[in-house]
Amino acid sequence: MKPLNQMTPQDFLVLAKSIDKKTWTMIGAGAAGALLLTYFLVWPAWIKRPMVKTQIAAVQGQIIQLQTLRRKKTVWTQEKEASEKFIKDVKGRLYFPGETSLLLGKIARLADESQIKIVSSSPQEVKTDFPKPFDAKYKADYFDFTVEGGYHQIADFISRVESYDKILRVEDFTITPEEDTPEKHMVHLTLSAVSLQEPQAAAAAGT
């Protein structure tokens, strides 16, 4: 009998014809057993199990990611609510068109409450626009004041201005003691008030 590596197709055919039925039955049974062994033992142990482990690890990773996103969602929701509240509060402190014309009288009342004297007050004639694109929504009005009073009274006045229910800010500040009465000071300051433009004011009034 030739070695297998030297056999031709005809040799294999002759060999197959020479094998009896009993031998073929044993070969078939052995092949079936090998297939069953592969299907029930080799496939689950060496192929399917690593695949299942990989799938389980992927699902576990997705679960951890989902849990992390859920925790972050709570934080994001809280931050969003806080931001929306802050924006709403700021918008509520903006002036409507025409309201700033009444500021001189309101600031005079704040000065009276702080027991200081307003020497002079006037709106600035120079117009300062917001940078684009904010100039389409907001405008700023500036007012020059000269007030006279004691140091603590002036500090109280500025505190009242900065904590006013509408947005009112001290932009420039100069204080000079008076020569004749050192306990009194002359203060020159510029205040700014931010108001909505007409279209924005109409939209805000509609809501």
- Bridge partners for 187 per DSSP: 147, 175
Instruction: Report the pLDDT value the prediction gives residue 56, as an integer from 0 to 100.
Output: 76
Our count of domains for the chain comes to: 2
Neighbours of 195 (CB within 10 A): 20
Cα 190 from Cα 169, distance rounded (Å): 8
Q: Are residues 189 and 112 in the same domain?
A: yes
Q: Are residues 80 and 111 in the same domain?
A: no
Q: Are residues 86 and 145 in the same domain?
A: no
Q: Are residues 153 and 195 in the same domain?
A: yes
Per-residue pLDDT of the chain (207 residues; tens, 9 = 90+): 555 555 566 655 655 566 566 665 766 666 666 666 665 555 565 666 667 677 777 878 888 888 787 778 888 788 888 887 877 777 777 888 778 778 888 888 999 999 999 999 888 876 667 778 877 888 888 889 999 999 899 999 999 998 888 888 888 889 888 878 878 899 999 998 888 887 665 655 555
| Listed residues 92, 111, 141: the one ending a domain | 92
Instruction: Report the pLDDT value the prediction gives residue 22, as an integer from 0 to 100.
Output: 66
| Nearest alpha-carbon partner for 149 in 160, 138, 140 | 160
Q: Are residues 77 and 135 in the same domain?
A: no
133 preceded by cis ω (within 30°)?
yes
95-127 pLDDT, tens digit per residue, is 887 787 788 888 889 999 999 999 998 888 766
Instruction: Report the pLDDT value the prediction gives residue 113, as an integer from 0 to 100.
Output: 93
Domain encompassing residue 11: 1-92
Q: Are residues 8 and 81 in the same domain?
A: yes
Instruction: Report the pLDDT value the prediction gives residue 115, as an integer from 0 to 100.
Output: 93
Residues in the chain: 207
**CATH value at residue 112:** 3.30.70.60
Cα 126 from Cα 60, distance rounded (Å): 65
Cα 87 from Cα 81, distance rounded (Å): 10
Instruction: Report the pLDDT value the prediction gives residue 196, as an integer from 0 to 100.
Output: 81
133 burial (CB, 10 Å; 0-12 / 13-18 / 19+) is exposed
Q: Looking at the whole model, is its pTM more than 0.85?
A: no
